[in-house]
Amino acid sequence: MDSLLGLMNGFKIALTLSNLFYCFVGVFIGTLIGVLPGIGPTGAMAMLFPVTFAMSPVSAIIMLAGIYYGAMYGGSTTSILVNIPGESASVVTCLDGYQMARQGRAGPALGISAFGSFIAGTFGVILLVFFVLPLSKVALKFGPPEYFSLLSASLILLTYLVRGSVFKAIVMALFGLILSTVGLDMIEGTGRLTFGLAFLEDGIGLVPLAMGLFGISEVLSNLELSMDRTIFKAKIKNLLPNRQDWKRSAGPIARGSILGFFLGLIPGGGGVIASFISYALEKKLSKHPESFGRGAIEGVAGPESANNSGAAGSFVPLLALGIPTNVVMALLLGGYMIHGVTPGPLLISKSPDLFWGVISSMYIGNVMLLVLNLPLIGIWVKILKVPYPILMPLILFFCLIGSYSLNNNILDVIVMIIFGIVGYILRKFDYEPAPFLLAFILGPLLETNLRQSLIMSDGSFYIFLKRPISAVALIIMALLLISTGFSYYKKAKIKITE
C-alpha cells in the first residue's frame, strides 16, 4: 500500500512539465549516445554534470538516469545497422542483429529490440519498487562497520570483474583512494596532499576528473582510430515484428528480463554481463543452436531485454544501500552527493519526492524510448554518418565549456585536461579508468565509516569481525584477494619453470 501511494506521488512529481522535459532530454541524449559508437553513457553523464547544477535534485537525477537506460536502447541500432556496438552492453547484439539486417530483416531486428527493451525495462522498474523498500528497511540496521565492509567488498568485487588485468584494476582503485584523500582532513582540518596549493584544499573536483577520464580521453582515443562504418543502406521496413517473430522472441524476452534484473543487483553485473549470459542461455535452450550468429531473432531479443532489465536492477543497491554496482551508478552517486543527497536507507524517509519521482520517471522514460526508437530510425541512421573529425572536436569544446562553468576557474579546465591525458595514457597501457573513478567516489564514504567505526570501538579493529554482516563481507573480500594473488603466483611459477 505504501508503495502504491509512493508511486502515485512520484507520478505527480514526474509528470510536471519541467520533469517531463528533463526526462525526455535524458532519454533522447542517452539514445543518441547509444547510437554513436565510442562515447558511452559514462562519458555523456560526466560531460553533462555541469548542466545539472542549475536544476533541482529531482530533475538532475531524472535526466542522468534517463541517459543511462536510454543508452541501453540506442546501442542496439548501431549494432544492427553498422555491426559496431554503440554501447558495451550491445556487443552481443552485433552477432545476430547485423546478420538479420544483411538478410533484409533490419526492421524486425530493430523492432524486437525496441519492444523487448521496453518490456524488460518496465518489468525491471516494477521489480525495483518491490526490492528497494524491504532492502532499505534491512539496511536501517546497518552501522558504520557494516557499511565500511560492504563498500570495501563491493569495490574489490568490481575490480575483480573488470575485463582486463585484476592486478591493474586493484592498482587503479588504490590510486583512486589516494586521490580521494586530497584536501582538508574532515576531522582535524589539516591539509592532505595539497602541496601548499589553496586550490586543492577543497579536494579534486569529481566533475573535471570524470570529464577528463571519460570525455577527453575518449575523444583522444577515438581520433586515432579509423572506424569503418559501413551503414546498412537498404530501406528499413516492417519495424513491427510478425506473429512468428513474437512466438520465437517471447521466451527470450521473459528470461532476459528476469535474468538481467538479478544480475544487475550484483556488483560488476548490469547490462554487459547480463547480455552475454542471456545470449549463451538462449543458444543452450534453442532447438536450433546452429542458427545463432546467422540471424536468429532470439539472439537479439534475449540480450537486449537482459541489458535493459539489468540497468533497472543496478539502481536497487544504489537506492537501498548507497552502494554503486558499476561506474555509471558511481557517477549517479556522485550526482546525488553534488546535490546534497546521500542515497541509502534514509533516502525514502528524508527525500521521498526524489526517491519516488525518479522511479516513476523511469516508467515514463521507457514509454518515451519506445516512441523515440521506432519512428526516428531514419534520423539515427543520418546521425551515424556524421564524420568523427567533426563530432569529436565538438565534444571536446563542450567539455572545456562545462568544466570552466563549474566555478569560472581556469584551474578546473587544467585539472580536466590533465586527467584527460592521464586517462588516454592509461587506456594505452590497458589500465581501465572505471575502478579509479569508483574508488575516488567511494573513498570519502569508506574513510568516514572507518573512522566512525574506530571511534565506536575505541580504536579496536575487532569491531569489523564481531558483526556478522561485516565479517562475511570482509571474508569475501579476503578470498578474492587471495585467489588473485594465488593465480599470479601460479603464472609466475610457470614462467620460471619455462
Radius of gyration for the alpha carbons in the chain, expressed in angstroms and rounded: 23
Could you give the angle at which helices 377-384 and 17-35 cross, rounded to 10 degrees? 50
**pLDDT tens for each residue of 309-333:** 888 888 888 888 777 877 788 888 8
User: What are the φ/ψ torsions at residue 86 (nearest 5 degrees)?
Assistant: -70, -25
Instruction: Provide the Cα torsion 271, 275, 281, 285; round to 10°.
Output: 130
CB 184 within 8 A of CB 190: yes
Angle in degrees, CA 97, 98, 102, rounded to 5: 120
Phi, psi for residue 492 in degrees, rounded to 5: -65, -40
Q: Between these two residues, 274 and 176, which has the higher pLDDT value?
A: 176
**DSSP-assigned beta bridge partners for residue 191:** 184
Cell 570529464, residue located:
211
> Which pLDDT band, with edges at 50, 70 and 90, does 22 fall under?
very high
The whole-model pTM stands at: 0.76
Average of per-residue pLDDT across 44-51: 78
CB 96, CB 293: distance < 8 Å: yes
Encode pLDDT of 85-144 as tens digits. Answer: 666 667 778 778 878 887 878 778 888 888 888 888 888 888 888 888 777 777 777 788
CB 77 within 8 A of CB 34: yes
Using alpha carbons only, give the angle 340, 268, 56 rounded to the nearest 5 degrees.
20
Looking only at Cα atoms, what is the longest distance across the chain?
Answer: 72
In tens, the pLDDT along 352-375 reads: 888 888 888 988 988 888 887 777
pLDDT band at 21 (very low <50, low <70, confident <90, very high): very high
Q: Which three cell numbers stand for residue 426?
A: 592509461
3-state secondary structure of 240: coil
pLDDT-derived band at 227, boundaries 50, 70, 90: low
Q: Per the structure block, which three cell numbers stand in for 321?
A: 544501500
Closest CA to 112 of 69, 65, 73: 73
- DSSP-derived secondary structure letter, 136: H
Model pLDDT, residue 157: 73
Higher pLDDT, 27 or 322: 27
Looking at per-residue pLDDT, the higher value among 358 and 82 belongs to 358
Helix, strand, or coil (residue 279): helix
Helix, strand, coil share (%) of the chain residues, nearest 5:
75, 0, 25
Q: DSSP readout, 315-349?
A: HHHHHHHS--SSHHHHHHHHHHHHTT---STTHHH
Cβ(313)–Cβ(269) below 8 Å: yes
